[in-house]
Structure 1
Amino acid sequence: MIGLMKKDFMMIRRQIFIIIALMAFYFIIMGFGKSQDYQIGMFGGYMIALIAILPITMLAYDEKNKWGRYEAALPVTRKQSVISKYLLMLFLALSAIAVFSVFCVIKNIHYPIEALAGIFSAAIIISSIILTVSYRFGTDKARFIFIGICFAAALIILNVFSESSQIVNSFEGSLNSLILGNITVIMLVFAMLIYFASMTVSIFVYLRKDL
């Protein structure tokens, strides 16, 4: 398992170094003089996009180099191969949050835990979905399917959470009292449920995939 994670990490290490360099550049230059909301928004969007792209990159390298056939001759199972990618994805998301927190300490900036939990949860959910789609349809099709999912999700969010939406107006009071007080826990629990559900589906698909 650790060997598989090392293999995936070595394949994407260049992209990871680029991400770290860009994050450092952003906090030193781009974030200078900007508001806290602007910085957290930019970081959130940037992190979610990059963490979502990395799983496709890992699988694309595997497909290009016919890793599945080579892997069949090794003392590892397909289940372990899938789990290793999900563990690496989780590690990268946690590392990004840790790096961001270090920069915040250096610059003496305080970000609410809810914002960090929201960014982490969104990154995990999107990455989990795109990994499952990639295992099922391949990385080439997964890119287009992922774009469609994001577009559909954006339309749904805009429709449901618009100011004129009757759904929001009718349940606003109960939502505020029930959800907002535990928003951090709810986001993290929901993200991990999606994470483990996605892992289970990906294992099921990959075990039956013809390599």
Structure 2
Amino acid sequence: MTELEKMQLGVEFDPDANEIQVLRHQTFTLIQQFNRTFAPKGRALAKKIFAKVGSQTIITPPFLCEFGKTISIGDRCFINMGVTMLDNAPITIGNNVLIGPSSQLYTASHPLDFKKRRQWECCNLPIVVEDDVWIGGNVVICQGVTIGARSVVAAGAVVTKDVAPDTLVAGVPAKMIKHIESEHDNNIGE
């Protein structure tokens, strides 16, 4: 198993491994280019940066990530300016997702034990954002979280636990405010 695969699986890995350093450097260079351009050239660069970028997806510069190839983005998504994705583990974004400005997705965390932090120990868990989610501006999504389909995360929320589908969450830490009923729900059986 490669050090990159270990990192993505959340097991102990060597952050100084050549393959990790090469990918980090390549992504840094591409991100710098991406942040100085816009569509259609920006789209071509995005396809080089990410594992997947769906059709009609717009990513507005500036955008920051560390590896890129661990991020998959579905169709018809809009990622607003200033978004940061710390992508040590996979980040999967579904279709029709809106992500507000200055939002941050963190797959990495560090131990509470300061001695382990001195060794730069890191634990990585994936983040999943399912279809039709709206993430407001300045939201933080922590490692290991899944945001359920059709949910809304209010601006400024810090999401530390999974969000059920069809819910509105807000606050620090984010808590469910209400169940969201869509027109689709009201038309079931018609």
TM-score, normalised with respect to structure 2: 0.25
- Greater share of residues in strand: 2
- Greater share of residues in helix: 1
Question: Rg bigger for which structure?
Answer: 1
TM-score, normalised with respect to structure 1: 0.24
Higher relative contact order by CA 8 Å / sep ≥ 6: 1 or 2? 1
